[in-house]
Amino acid sequence: MIDPYLWLEDLDSPDALRWVSERNAETLASLADAEFARLRDAVREVLDSKERISFPAWGGDGFYYDFWRDADHPRGLWRRTTPEEFRCDEPDWDVLLDLDALNAAEGTNWTWGGATVLRPGYDRCLISLARGGSDAVVVREFDLVARAFVKDGFALPEAKSDVGWIDADHIFVATDFGDGSLTSSGYARIVKRWRRGTPLSEAETVFEGQHDDVLISASHDPAPGFERDFVVQRVEFFRTRYHLRRPDGELVRIEIPEDADFDVHREWMLIRLRTPWREFPAGALIVTDFDDFLAGGRDLTVLFQPDDRTSLSSYAWTRHHLLLATLADVKTRIEILTPGSPSWTREPLDAAGEFDNTWIVDTEPESSDAYLIASEGFLQPASLRLGASTVLKREPAFFDTDGLAVRQHFAVSADGTRVPYFVVGGDGCGPALLTGYGGFEISRTPDYGGVRGRGWLARGGAYILANIRGGGEYGPAWHQAALRENRTKAYEDFAAVARDLVDRGITTPAQLGITGGSNGGLLMGVMLTRYPELFGAVVAAVPLLDMRRYTKLLAGKSWIAEYGDPDVPGDWEFLRGYSPYQNVRPDRPYPPVLFLTSTRDDRVHPGHARKMLALLRENGHEAWLYENVEGGHGAAADNEQAATREALCLEFLWRKLHQRG
């Protein structure tokens, strides 16, 4: 079948851009009145607030580093300060790079892509700058003493690059080296060792992957006495081959399962399992001595073993300890583990509120046992702590929580699986906003949303977060239960939550709005076309929607392990059963839908949203589009654009649900 809207995949063609401009004008004309302006301003006030708190990163040089945006600095400041100064109500920040000033000087629209600081010198860094928020970046060497880019320093043109310091005169670089140097997913297939003062074309090849790999990268561990180089071959999204690179260039394969995660800290090696291995279950975290393991030893110790309710969320090393964050029915617990003989010891940290989420912000594993952790809840603004008890910062409240409460319920999916979800709001039946993600083993946990609070909860709406399969809330098994041919399990879970909300009297189908982005945007598309009777309005942000062509667009091929390959007949059989673009019907009523995307999204192609809107309208359905020119996969490059995006989402849902309710 010929796709009549294939021309909308032509990203910057005059016809496509004219069409997008017309759709944007229609959407703004339908929503952008005085009430919308008030909401957008209220959202902007939250995003620009100078009372927000920073969640800094340790540089290892005694400084906290932070990237900050507000009304005075819309593109942002990269800055640092001392831990002592950070404790002050108004820290004296040392500004390293002002992106607004840089853009004015260079006449461009850079957004921040991150920085890699040289260790142990801490006088140079590699800064990544993205044009309009894209995943592709330019890389430039920056002098942290002179506060200037290094003339004739390391520099890379725009590409999806990965770079890292080896020493002051060498870096690892994986980038677009020309014809044949990229994988079929559009990432680097080759990694090289580049010496200062030499052309990139003369850099020494470290490793070449296969065309159908996802990406290749390399890194250097500068820990004194434990300096090591590693090469990573990402075969599929969740299959990776790790290698130690010896000083003579020899690569030694680290013999762990390809679907396991791997981490080394000094003498210790951690292995995080996704499937059973030896006597250890999926989801376990194992520790061993790295050198002994390479020599053939298998003295393995379990540090975390999951059960039906509990999963490992994250971990981080300090100099002498290991912090573990776990989830039990999506509720956080933090423990500090210490190596010892004959066994490791563990000490729990004080728990936050019942429905608050605590996470590890950063550690300084080379030289300190200090750590930064933060906690927040749906109704509890974030607080940042140094260690277990020293509160460094508290975020202000951005909305009134009187009369609001948080509850956790469990819906029963089609196959009998219990699916947890959180409800935030007051008692009674009314407008409700349901969201979820359900993919790539990503867990959705409670968070404080000042924008959501002002734009939805304060207006009387309820907010619901569904922890459906495909995510990581219950470990690898929860993710794997909704992979490939089982993808519909995630959709059945979300539909079950929607029905449970109605059964409990929290809302009605006509008053239930839903929103999600990226993989969550695919979720929204499936809900629209497969379960339209359950919802009153839908917002899908940067969505995947055409599963017939997703592997042909940008980074799509890297997600085959998650969804399946539409070019394989057996895979297309299950993909076409739910692919939103292939399941639009003229004779089935759909709730109104708004698509939010970005022209500069180089991860999920905006053609998905463009084509879906055109097809829906052709079949007589109400559909709207707003495509921001900038923003990349986040669909916004600064707070002004983010405020417009958030206000469009919330105002669209609020109006449509009240019209239908």
Residue predicted with more confidence, 10 or 660: 10
Whether residues 391 and 413 share a domain: the answer is no
Q: Specify whether 316 is located in the same domain as 413.
A: no
- Does any domain span residue 438? yes
571-617 residue pLDDT tens? 999 999 999 999 999 999 999 999 999 999 999 999 999 999 999 99
Q: Work out the pLDDT band at 351, boundaries 50, 70, 90.
A: confident
DSSP string, 367-378: T---EEEEEE-S
SS3 583: helix
Element spanning 626, H or E = strand 623-628
Question: Taking Cα atoms as reference points, which of 112, 105, 40, 37 lies closest to residue 74?
Answer: 112
Q: Are residues 183 and 291 in the same domain?
A: yes
Q: Is the domain of 560 the same as that of 529?
A: yes
Q: What are the tens digits of pLDDT across the range 415-474?
A: 999 999 999 998 889 999 999 999 999 999 999 999 999 999 999 999 999 999 999 999
**Assigned token pair, 49:** 């607030």
pLDDT at 1: 72
Which two tokens mark 153? 């320093």
The answer as to whether 1 is a domain residue is no
Of 630, 639, 511, nearest in space to 50 by CA: 639
Residue 353 — pLDDT band, cuts 50, 70, 90? confident
Q: What is the dihedral of CA 46, 52, 56, 62, to 10 degrees?
A: 150
Question: What CATH number does residue 651 fall under?
Answer: 3.40.50.1820
- 642 forms beta bridges with none
What is the pLDDT confidence band of residue 661, given thresholds at 50, 70 and 90? Answer: low
Q: 643-659 pLDDT, tens per residue?
A: 999 999 999 999 999 98
For 351-461, where are the E strands, in sequence order?
Answer: 357-363, 371-376, 383-386, 390-394, 405-412, 418-425, 432-435
Q: Has residue 289 been placed in a domain? A: yes
DSSP annotation string for 210-250: -TTSSEEEEEEE--TT--EEEEEEEEETTEEEEEEE-TTS-
- 406 plus 393 within the same structural domain: no
Asked if residue 144 has pLDDT above 90, the reply is yes
The last residue of one of the domains, among 336, 370, 397, is 397
Is 526 domain-assigned?
yes
Name the percent of the chain lying above pLDDT 90: 95
* pLDDT of 660 over the 90 cut: no
- Tell me the C-alpha to C-alpha distance, in Å, between residue 60 and each of 57, 68, 117, 362: 9, 20, 9, 11
Determine which helix (DSSP H) or strand (DSSP E) holds 115, and give its type and residue range: strand 110-117
Residue 458 falls within a domain, yes or no?
A: yes
Domain CATH code at residue 132: 2.130.10.120
Do residues 356 and 489 both lie within one domain? no
* Nearest to 364, CA basis, from 122, 59, 65, 84: 59
Query: Are residues 389 and 444 both part of a single domain?
Result: no
Measured in residues, the chain has a length of: 661
Question: Which H/E stretch holds residue 324?
Answer: strand 322-328
The whole-number pLDDT of residue 299 equals: 95
Distance CA 358, CA 328 (A): 13
Tally the domains of the chain. 3
Domain-terminating residue out of 273, 298, 323:
298
> Annotated active-site positions, please?
518, 633
The verdict on 345 and 425 lying in the same domain is: no
Tokens of 165: 């310091």
Q: Which residue, 341, 365, 397, sits at the end of a domain? A: 397
Cis peptide bond N-terminal to 14, omega within 30: no
222 within a domain of the structure (yes/no): yes
Q: What is the pLDDT of residues 28-79, one digit of tens each?
A: 999 989 999 999 999 999 999 999 999 999 988 899 999 999 999 999 999 9
Q: Are residues 403 and 425 in the same domain?
A: yes
Report the pLDDT value the prediction gives residue 341, as an integer from 0 to 100.
Answer: 80
> Beta strands 593-598 and 623-628: pairing type?
parallel
Record the tokens describing residue 137, joined without a space: 């970046």
The pLDDT of residue 374: 97
The average pLDDT across 106-125 equals 95
Same domain, 518 and 432: yes
C-alpha distances in Å from residue 192, one per residue of 171, 221, 233, 244: 8, 16, 13, 15
Render pLDDT for 482-538 as a digit per residue (tens, 0 to 9).
999 999 999 999 999 999 999 999 999 999 999 999 999 999 999 999 999 999 999
Chain center to CA of 651: 25
- Shared domain for 347 and 214, answered yes or no, is no
Q: Are residues 174 and 235 in the same domain?
A: yes
- H/E run at residue 17: helix 14-31
- DSSP string spanning 464-502? EEE--BTBSTT-HHHHHTTSGGGTHHHHHHHHHHHHHHH
Going by C-alpha positions, the residue among 217, 246, 219, 241 that lies closest to residue 230 is: 219
How many C-beta neighbours within 10 Å does residue 628 have?
26
> Is residue 557 pLDDT above 90, yes or no?
yes
Whether 369 is covered by a domain: the verdict is yes
Residue 418 included in any domain? yes
**Domain membership of residue 278 as a residue range:** 52-298
- Residue 78 forms beta bridges with which residues? 67, 97
Q: What integer pLDDT is reported at residue 60 of this predicted model?
A: 85
